[in-house]
Amino acid sequence: MNTWLWIGIVQAVFLSLLLISKKDKKQPDYILLSWLLIIGVHMAYYELALQQYWRHRWIPGVIGHALAMCYGPLLYLYTLSLIRPRKVKAITFVLHFLPYVLYVTLWIGFKAWFPAWNLYISSGLMAISVAHTPDFIRSITYLIAISAAGYALYNLKILRAYQQDIPQTFSYHEKINLNWLRYCALSFFLIFICIFLILTLLPSDATSSSVKISGVSVVMLLWVFALGYFGFKQTHIFSSIPVAKPANSPNPTVEKVSTITTRYQKSGLKAETSQQYTQAAQQLMQEKKLYLNEELTLHQLAAQLDVPAYHLSQALNEQLQKNFFDFVNEYRVEEVKEKVADPTFQKYTLLAIAYESGFRSKSSFNRVFKRFTGMTPSEYKKNRE
């Protein structure tokens, strides 16, 4: 019995039960729950591999061995469910788990086509006790590593695109953090490669098999704990808010006008309409002071104006060279200035004034205020006095 494996299995089950008890579960929670359960089953598979249980049960052995191919799709689907406003469709799940089914079918097909082959599990990996087996058949196991690396790298790519999209959609940064998902994808890539090297580079005798699986289980144990802990705390980033199309260029605040024009060259929004949208947004912000809503989003402002959110984002970028975040927070900074000068607010602290002006946190207030004025809030107040 491998102690580390059993600790990992118990941990996966415990974190799964914790997720089950979570209230108001959303699709990301169910995907994470499935992921933890699969990891628990996969660890149980390795425990049975140590007991040579799969040597004469190669079909369930192949099914368990191939579970590693589910990790990449689960990472991708979990990320997608967090950063997209709508639920991931069932067909998407089917398409991404299809390689797992094909991989299992491929090994079963080989056994049916070459019945003389003795397929068995060695250190948790498929092995063939037949001399002169074609290299391309022996290398099929590498598809698992290739799949994991591909999904991890693609995840990093889409997270980068959506990170650039946040200022186009939200007027705040708090609790909209993709760092956890980025660390998850990067650690997944490194850990999976590490595990694959442990399994493939060490020899296949009985002693080293135990060492291999112990190494794998320790690495998985640490990663599963982080996955369950941070995943439990993670919220659905975009909630029910339709997201603007991901930006493929840097922040429009520092972009040149020509770059912005190129970015929207395929848009059907006319310059005259763009100007009208911008003027209407400015008027609405001044009259109704929507920026006082600390959770104001592009979609909410667009709904008030009855215009498409993406076109409104385009209008602000083209007409003002500002993303939505800067557009809203500039009003908040001006609101703070007015309140600092208003005798009615003399007894208010700067932080209280910031909260009254639509800011959500002290750090965000200080950072944004200095960016727009060149001074910290306390420096600005001192200069006025």
Q: Domain locations in the chain?
A: 3-233, 249-291+299-322, 326-385
* Between 133 and 93, residue with greater pLDDT: 93
Among 127-131, 152-156, 348-352, the range scoring the smallest mean pLDDT is 127-131
Kindly state the average pLDDT of the residues 187-193. Answer: 78
Identify the weakest region by mean pLDDT among 131-145, 174-188, 348-362.
131-145
* Predicted confidence (pLDDT) at residue 3 exceeds the cutoff of 90: no
User: CATH homologous superfamily for 3-233?
Assistant: Rhodopsin 7-helix transmembrane proteins (1.20.1070.10)
pLDDT of residue 370: 93
| pLDDT (tens digit per residue) in 313-337 | 989 998 999 999 999 999 999 999 9
Identify the band that residue 359 occupies on the pLDDT scale cut at 50, 70 and 90.
very high
229-287 residue pLDDT tens? 666 665 555 443 443 343 333 343 333 344 454 556 556 778 888 899 999 999 999 99
CATH class of 326-385: mainly alpha
pLDDT at residue number 60 = 82
- N-to-C CA span, the chain: 73
What is the rounded (10 degree) CA torsion for 323, 325, 331, 333?
-120
Residue 366's CB is within 10 A of a number of other CB atoms, namely 17
